[in-house]
Structure 1
Amino acid sequence: MTQTATCEIELLDALPHLESGSRFDRAKTLPVQTPHATANNPDAEYFSGINALEGHGHPTGSGYSLPTPPSTAQISGIRIGNIFIEDKVLYLAGSCMGIFVVGLNETATGANLPSFQDYYHLPYDTVSLVFLGGFIGYLISCMRNSVLQNAIGTRNVLLLAGALYAGGSLLISFAPPFPAVMVGLCFMGFGAGFYEAALTSVVSHFEDNRYMNILYAFSGLVSPFIIGALAKIGAAWKLYYWFPFVLASLITGSHFIIFRNYSTPSDREEVSEHEGVRAKFKRVVHMPIAWIGIVLLFLSFSIAHVFTSWLTSYLMEIKGSGPDVSRYQLSMLWAGLTAGRVFFSLPFIHVRERTGNTILLVSMCGAIGLFWAVNSTPSNWIGIAAAGFFLGPNTPGILSIISARAPPSLKGIVISSMIGLGLAGTLAPLVFGVVIEKVTPGLRILPPVIIVLASLSALVFWTVPPRRKVD
């Protein structure tokens, strides 16, 4: 009987493993051996072929009882022909789409600032209110994001974000009175806040800061080129806002499909998964790393928004660039940001959390110093691009560093709180506009202000505690 059973097992092991299924599958299942499977039963490995074919252990004629099948881990995704795409890849692609749309408004507001000023005949301190409109919507949506994600799910939050963002863009595209432009920017801020908080929390569960760099890589790259081209041909500034309206509408449809099966990864901590949102907020409030992240993100937003929002005006009034050339030079800043984020997301590039980010910020200060001290066409282009390159990894790096130190169950709330409170930094362009109206040097103080903010950020990085290794 033993020989018969052995021959039978060898025959079954020799059979080819056939894969059946449709051309478009939603899931793929991979066997995972339990750690103690072979230790407790030396025959487990030998009989694994029968288990794989029959699915259940059963007694054989030899008297052996075959072991129970190994546990399985399901990798969800789609299969198109012979290509299998994991949902993780789809989620990253969908997240990049949303953050790309967010960047369209971040850069457009600063690039269109001279156009707003000329069209509505406003001084610096009044036209600076455009930054307040976006801030209000952004702040409220970021702070409410984690509650909504728990209540209606990530996909519905993204659909709401798309509707708000597209609606605000459509309103501004008709060049309404200035208060209505503020309302449109507020709606766009609502959508952008939901997009950024929800999608950043999705990517934070990937546990790799390179994914965060990829997420923010192409944010804001395109709009200065479009606005510069419109200025060159003398087209109305309002035409630009049809572009984010159409793109947000298309991406909303994509998110409806991509995130239909998404759910927040389960928490493997001892804390109950059913812990209330209020209790989680209380835990976050008592986490020092969350407050360090808020300060870092505040400084990061201040640096990026002041520089990108007022660079076009600085180039036109201080450096003497034309309306179209100044927008193209702003595009070089965003091209540098993109290049920096792509470069530092490469697998063979590793930036140490404190030392590396400090070096990047010091290098950015050097590039800003060159741009400030030397007024020539080559140095302007090089200084702007270099500053963008070294600034690029700053915001993604902060989000990755802080989220890596947060428990899985709190990542969403930590990210939402960081972005929401750190958004106070997006008011810096408004404050800067009021200040330059009062001081004699005016716009000339832009480079030294950026250098001071970057130096403060480099110092705060050294308050981040070392990362605790967790098995």
Structure 2
Amino acid sequence: MSQTATCEIELLDALPHLETGTPLDRAKSLYAQTPDVGTELLDAEYFSRNAPDNCVDATGSSHTLANSMQPNEISGIRIGKIFIEDKVLYLAGACMGAFAVGLNDTATGANLPSFQAHYHLSYETVSLVFLAGLGGYLVSCMLNSVLQNTIGTRNVLLMAGSLYAGGSLLISFAPPFPVVMAGLCLMGLGGGFYEACLTSVVSHVSMVSIAALLFALGRFEKFENSRFMNILYAFFGLGALVSPFIIGALAKAGAAWKLYYWFPFSLATLVTICHFVLFKHYVIPSDHEEAPEFKSVREKFKQVMHMPITWIGIVLTILSFAIANVLSNWLTSYLIDVKGSDLGVSRYQLSMLWAAQASLSVEHFSPYRLSTSTKGTSARPYVRSNGLTLGCQLFGIQLGRCCCRWVLLRPEHTSLKGIVVSITLGLGLVGSTLGPLIFGIVAGKVSPGLRILPPVIIVLACLSALFFWTIPPRRKVD
């Protein structure tokens, strides 16, 4: 009895909004047990997918648990003696989509010299390809939250896969340049829906699944939802690592650049089929502790925009997106035109850069180390351009991108997460699109040309490091 009471007190202390006695949501009330239930029974009930009949008050505790919520059965699949909960499947499906988005993130930059050579374009003209991504990505990020609540998460993901695959198929035939831009716009639409929708899914999974499991085992420990988000963006970095390797191999073999786009087409088709199966029963978690005045989308939007951390995160997202996309999209051209790298080797060097980005996604650093590493590694373009140096280039940049997600996924009410993700990702496209576009226009008009790439990265990285210091510290709960 004392064990159960202690467990409930620790949970309520860790989540202050439960102290008011408001009803618990599905995941938090799922494992509330009667005082006479032992730990072994808790484990057996969890893995046998049986939920308790009701929720009762903890004896001897000043905190009370609401018993009005009726828990639902845990869903998942069982393979032999192993039971895989749906939340694990959702995380796996999210990683698939993030991998597909990462492919397109570096493919445009890696193929930029091929676009120029095939269509005989200048730096200013070829920079227009970044506007195509903006048109699709911005619309999809802003519409994602509405569509998720209207047609459901699975239908949004199926639509994203269809758009992504359709754009890839269109470009694979090497049509006229305006049609290529239309194909990139379709891929941007699909990628925007993928990123915003899957980020929202993982943010809910990371807040619920570990807390529920630890509560079922009779204990509650501190956890960080940024770890799940880092896993998601590690797969994003992995996808960004793979595409330059494929494009580089095609360039070294003398194959046509258009053949690459059959790979994302096939991958998007496979991911769409997986999402159709994995997200069949997915429902956006409800926010029972939310006050009635926050039910409408307009009032949720107002609440989000009045949060100072939202504006700090928007600025950081714009800067980090600008750094990552300027470097990713123009690095291959910089290495070929300025450093004299081979057509295939230049793509491999871009892959090394994203290899470091993917591997560092799972690390956790303080703002001081984050800002120091961002400024320090941004100076490396002045050093001899080899694969290892370029691999360390984004040491601070990827941390900045992951940190932005972590900062912005901190609203008290879980129902605000989808809106926050859609707004910040959409506005982050200002940096990810205007950054490479403006850089290409300026590089085509000034005499140094692409040699201005290192100074531009250094200035943006220093600005990003300064804004990291404005992040308020997280409140610690004893």
TM normalised by structure 2 equals 0.81
Letter of the 1:141 counterpart: S
State the AA in 2 paired with 1:355: Y
Contact 2:141 2:426 in 1 (8 A): yes
Q: Which residue of 1 aligns with 2:262?
A: 242
- Correspondence 1:257 to 2:277: yes
Q: Give, as a single letter, the amino acid of the residue that structure 2 aligns with 1:394.
A: G
Comparing 265-274 and 440-449, the one that deviates more: 265-274
Structure 1 residues 260 and 317, CA, compared in 2 at 3 Å: closer, same or farther?
same
Q: Identify unmatched segments of 5+ residues in structure 1.
A: 1-12, 41-67, 345-349
Query: 1:305 touches 1:426 (CA, 8 Å); kept in 2?
Result: yes
Shift of residue 164, structure 1, vs aligned partner = 0.5
Aligned partner of 2:458 among 443, 451, 457: 451
Q: Identity over aligned residues, as a percent? A: 61
Structure 2 residue aligned with 1:338, among 348, 358, 377?
358
* Closer, same or farther: CA 217–451 of 1 in aligned 2, 3 Å: same
Contact 1:222 1:331 in 2 (8 A): yes
The structural deviation recorded for 1:87 is: 1.4
The code of the aligned residue for 2:161 comes to G
> Structure 1 residue 363 and structure 2 residue 376: aligned?
yes
What's the counterpart of residue 113 of structure 1?
Answer: 112
CA distance in 2, matches of 1:299, 1:20: 49
CA distance in 1, matches of 2:380, 2:319: 22
> Are the counterparts in 2 of residues 266 and 273 from structure 1 also a CA contact under 8 Å?
no
The amino acid across from 2:454 in the alignment is P
Say whether the 8 Å CA contact 1:27–1:76 is kept in structure 2: no
**Counterpart in the other structure of 2:210:** none
Match of 2:446 in 1: 439
The Cα of 1:258 is off from its aligned counterpart by 0.8
Q: Look up the match of 1:143.
A: 142
User: 8 Å contact 2:93–2:278 — kept in the other structure?
Assistant: yes
1:298 and 2:318 correspond: yes
Deviation of the 1:356 alpha carbon: 3.7
| C-alpha distance 77-34 of structure 1, shift in aligned 2 (>3 A) | same
Matched, 1:36 2:36: no
Q: What amino acid does structure 2 have at the position aligned with 1:327? A: R
Match in the other structure for 2:226: 209
* Partner SS, residue 455 of structure 2: helix
Tell me how far 1:284 sits from its aligned partner.
Answer: 1.8
Pick one of 365, 368, 377 that aligns with 1:351. 365
Corresponding residue SS for 2:49: strand
Distance 1:467 1:274, change over 3 A: closer
**Out of 430, 453, 460, which is 2:467 matched to?**
460
What is the 5 A alignment of 1:72-471?
A: 74-205=73-204, 206-207=206-207, 208-219=225-236, 220-272=240-292, 275-342=295-362, 344=363, 350-352=364-366, 354-365=367-378, 369-372=379-382, 374-375=383-384, 380-405=386-411, 407-427=413-433, 428-469=435-476
Call closer, same or farther: CA 1:333–1:273 in 2, change over 3 Å.
farther
2:50–2:73 contact (8 Å) kept in structure 1 = yes
| Distance in structure 2 (CA, Å) of the matches to 1:287 and 1:80 | 45
Work out whether residues 316 and 400 of structure 2, in 8 Å CA contact, stay in contact via their aligned partners in 1.
Answer: no
Moved more, 438-447 or 110-119: 438-447
Q: What amino acid maps onto 1:396 in structure 2?
A: C
Supply the distance in 2 between the matched residues of 1:362 and 1:242 (Cα, whole angstroms): 38
Shift of 1:249: 0.6
Q: Confirm or deny: 8 A CA contact 1:124 1:433 kept in the other structure.
A: yes
User: What's the offset of the Cα at 1:400?
Assistant: 1.2
C-alpha displacement at 1:288, in angstroms?
1.8
Q: For residues 289 and 254 of structure 2, what CA distance do their matches in structure 1 show?
A: 59
Displacement of 1:341: 1.3
Once the two structures are superposed, the pairs formed by residues 7-86 of structure 1 within 5 Å of their partners are 28-31=49-52, 34=55, 36-39=57-60, 74-86=73-85
Q: 1:26 to 1:127 in 2, by over 3 A?
A: farther
Aligned equivalents of 1:111, 1:26: Cα separation in 2: 47
Change (3 A) 1:176 1:299: same
Offset at residue 30 of structure 1 (A): 4.7
The structural deviation recorded for 1:74 is: 4.0
Aligned residue identity for 1:447: P
Alignment TM-score, normalising by the size of structure 1: 0.82
Separation (CA, whole Å) in 2 of partners of 1:257 and 1:469? 40
**Amino acid in the other structure paired with 2:455:** P
Deviation at 1:34, TM superposition (A): 5.0
Letter in structure 1 aligned against 2:269? S
8 Å CA contact retained: 1:364, 1:391:
no
CA-atom RMSD, angstroms? Answer: 2.7
Cα offset, 1:467, TM superposition = 2.1
Superposed displacement of residue 37, structure 1: 4.9
How far the C-alpha of 1:429 sits from its partner, in A, is 0.5
| Aligned partner of residue 321 in structure 1, secondary structure | coil
Distance in 2 (alpha carbons) for counterparts of 1:84 and 1:200: 25
Per-residue deviation, 1:364:
2.4
Task: Tell me: CA distance 1:274–1:371, structure 2 relative to 1, closer, same or farther (3 Å).
Answer: closer
* Alignment coverage as a number of residue pairs: 412
Give the match's secondary structure for 1:29: coil
Q: Is contact 1:289–1:405 with CA below 8 Å preserved after alignment?
A: no
Structure 2 unaligned runs (5+)?
A: 1-36, 62-66, 208-224
Cα displacement string for residues 407-429 of structure 1 (whole angstroms, at most 9, x for unaligned residues): 31111000100000111012211
Contact kept, 8 Å, 2:370 with 2:396, in 1: the verdict is no
Q: Quick one: distance in 2 between partners of 1:360 and 1:271?
A: 42
> What letter is aligned with 2:375?
V
TM-aligned CA distance change 1:314 to 1:26, over 3 Å:
same
> Structure 1 residues 434 and 89, CA, compared in 2 at 3 Å: closer, same or farther?
same
